[in-house]
Chains A and B, each alone.
Chain A
Amino acid sequence: MANQEAVERPTTTEGRDAGRGRARLHTTPRGPRTSRARKVLAGVVLAVVCLLMLSPVLWTAFSVIKPTNVAFLNPPVYRFEPTLDAFVNLWQTTNFYQYLINTLVVAVISTAVALVIGLPAAYALSRSPGWVSVVLLVAALVFRALPRTAVVLPMYEISRSLGIYDTTLALALALVAINQPFSIWLLRNFFAAVPREIDEAAMLDGCTRLSMLRLVIIPLMGPGIITAGLFMFLFAFQEYLTAVILTDVSSATVPVFIATQLGQTLPLLQQAGAASLLLTAPVFLFAFVAQKYLIAGLNAGSVKG
């Protein structure tokens, strides 16, 4: 990956200067004490930033584990008997698990389809410059920037007339359309990093274009595909506007559910808080696991795109 290469680049210069560069990197001209003070300062600043960035989640968690009658008192109560009632109520009185399943199904289907469709196209674009490729790339860029309403409002009508309104299928199809342009954009940059000589060698060995793609290139692209897949999944998982227009009750997603809870009474709001946390927990894990790939993808995307 490009960023690893940069990290591992030798810091020393060659010849008789060898080693001197490295030594200088570790001791700043200001001396070790200021350098340590700076490090501590940077650490404190970062710790405060992290705390601030997490504060909405922490405050929600704090409110959700309070008993309902004191959950939203003003000024807030800081001494209470922690309870998981809100989670139990959420599970028992709402269709939360159904919304959660809908969200996951839609995200998984749309990610898989967008990848299967996007991979060959991105490969073709990376190997064969020409006006068709230019048009496709510019189209992908413009489609990425499009206001959702411009395509989703007509999709509402189309899905009604096809009889697929309020189905996970309709929502997944819409998300494939909306997210696929970006997958082409991302994947193309990863393909561009695979040397063409590999294609040629495989072709000489008797591979067809498709089998070469499947057996040689795609395995080489592993991290790139994971990155693109993670982004597609994330975007589908987060989508609210498309879901609120194309679904009603039976295939609503978690963001749609939470939006409908917003105007409700306090116990329901506490449930919405519990729902938010239940969705944040896996996402939290996701952030830790995925950071490496996300950064690699952003790197590739920004260098080329």
Chain B
Amino acid sequence: MRRREYAYLVAPSVLVMFGLLVIPLVRTIQWSFERVRYGQPGTFVGLDNYRDAVTDPRFLSAVSFTVAVTVAVVTVLVVGGYLLAVLVNGLVRVRPLVLGLLLVSYVVPGLIGATMFSWLFNDNFGGVVNQLISALGLPEVLWFTSTWANRALVAASVVWSLVPFSMMVILAGLQGVPKELLEAARMDGAGTLRTHWSVIAPSIRGVLGFVTLISIMDVLRLFDQLIPLSPQAVQIGNESLVLYIYNRAFLDGGQQLGLGSAMNVLLILLIVVMLLPFIRDTAREGRS
């Protein structure tokens, strides 16, 4: 392809990315060095915002909450998605029906799904889960006010909305596993578990990596689910990074826009570091 043609073809996309993503990003970086609020010019304060951010206990608690939720949820997503995919892969005639039913929680908007999810647990809405718990003679659980119960609730809701995605990707991967390979494993006398662990899972390593990558990206920016599921997120220490940035930099008229921007920059750095292996792979592939 001639250079001129290439330029024409990528130009609209580059312009959009530059104008609508790079320019705002540069603004965020600039704000992170300023004391600034919406509608007023900022004053340069050097690294003050960064110092404030890393010494802010609320920020650190948001970081650890977000990272812990991400690790826990992504693990469940990969393992649970794999199990579900194996089950669905065994279906023939009812597969489209089952897939359609399972997909619903993924295609519903996150905030709306979490709202419906919260009503199962909320005593003001019949509290059907708590009814079940007390019917089983178990102690009452404060889903919205106790820190750990709320964490479990949030994690469960995120798993609920994302597990169809990991299931679908892994299912697509399973369909690409050569039948000869399974046959060979069977001839060698490998049991079901053994076949999954040493034959199937390694042969879809790329797919599992992709699921992990996308899931990390999606869970790290946890926000929507917390609005209905954790109305007291701040008080009980269940604020995610994005929620904290939103609360600090936007909600009160953007009074801490500089500080919020510094946190944004730190969050971007965290994400880039977590993505480094994938960035390396992408770069290698783009060259070939």
Complex contact B278–A141 (CB within 8 A): yes
A134 at the B interface (CB under 8 A): yes
Question: Which of the listed residues A50, A133, A238, A302 has the most CB atoms from chain B within 10 Å of its own CB?
Answer: A302
Q: How far is the CA of A290 from the CA of B96 in the complex (A)?
A: 10
Contacts across chains A and B counted by CB atoms under 8 Å? 335
A93 at the B interface (CB under 8 A): no
Complex contact B38–A288 (CB within 8 A): no
What is the distance, in angstroms, from A249's C-beta to the closest C-beta of chain B? 17
1/0 contact string of B66-96 vs chain A (CB within 8 Å): 0000000000000000001001101100001
Complex contact A302–B173 (CB within 8 A): yes
Complex contact B172–A3 (CB within 8 A): yes
Residue of B nearest to A292 (CB): B96
B45 at the A interface (CB under 8 A): no
Interface size on A, residues (CB 8 A): 117
Q: How far is the CA of A72 from the CA of B123 in the complex (A)?
A: 9
B126 at the A interface (CB under 8 A): yes
* Chain B contacts with A in 98-112, Cβ cutoff 8 A: 98-112
Which residue of A3, A74, A209, A287 is within 8 Å of B1 (Cβ)? Answer: A209
Note all chain B residues with C-beta closer than 8 A to A25: 179, 183
B197 at the A interface (CB under 8 A): no
Complex contact B13–A184 (CB within 8 A): yes
Note all chain B residues with C-beta closer than 8 A to A245: 246, 250
Interface SS of B by simple majority: helix
Complex contact B38–A157 (CB within 8 A): yes
What is the distance, in angstroms, from A156's C-beta to the closest C-beta of chain B? 7
Complex contact A49–B168 (CB within 8 A): no
Which residue of A53, A123, A177, A178 is within 8 Å of B160 (Cβ)? Answer: A53
Residue of A nearest to B131 (CB): A75
A97 at the B interface (CB under 8 A): no
Which residue of B84, B107, B279 is within 8 Å of A283 (Cβ)? Answer: B107
Complex contact B260–A153 (CB within 8 A): yes
Residue of B nearest to A192 (CB): B285
Complex contact A259–B104 (CB within 8 A): no
Which residue of B90, B100, B177, B268 is within 8 Å of A287 (Cβ)? Answer: B100
Which residue of B24, B96, B115 is within 8 Å of A288 (Cβ)? Answer: B96
Note all chain B residues with C-beta closer than 8 A to A215: none
A214 at the B interface (CB under 8 A): no
Complex contact B112–A254 (CB within 8 A): yes
B171 at the A interface (CB under 8 A): yes
Residue of B nearest to A73 (CB): B126
B267 at the A interface (CB under 8 A): yes
Which residue of A127, A280, A291 is within 8 Å of B100 (Cβ)? Answer: A291
B63 at the A interface (CB under 8 A): no
A136 and B14 in contact, given A128-B6, A258-B112 (Cβ under 8 angstroms): yes
A273 and B98 in contact, given A150-B268, A153-B250 (Cβ under 8 angstroms): no
Q: How far is the CA of A263 from the CA of B186 in the complex (A)?
A: 58
Complex contact A149–B279 (CB within 8 A): no
Identify the stretch in B49-57, B137-145, B221-229 within 8 Å (CB) of chain A at 4 or more residues. Answer: B221-229
What is the distance, in angstroms, from A68's C-beta to the closest C-beta of chain B? 13
Complex contact B175–A117 (CB within 8 A): no
Which residue of A72, A121, A302 is within 8 Å of B169 (Cβ)? Answer: A302
* Chain A contacts with B in 1-50, Cβ cutoff 8 A: 2-3, 6-7, 9, 11, 13, 21, 24-25, 29, 39, 42, 45-46, 49-50
Can you give 17 contacting A-B residue pairs, CB < 8 Å? A9-B178, A24-B186, A46-B88, A49-B87, A56-B116, A63-B125, A74-B123, A75-B126, A147-B268, A150-B264, A151-B25, A158-B24, A160-B38, A276-B115, A286-B107, A295-B171, A302-B172
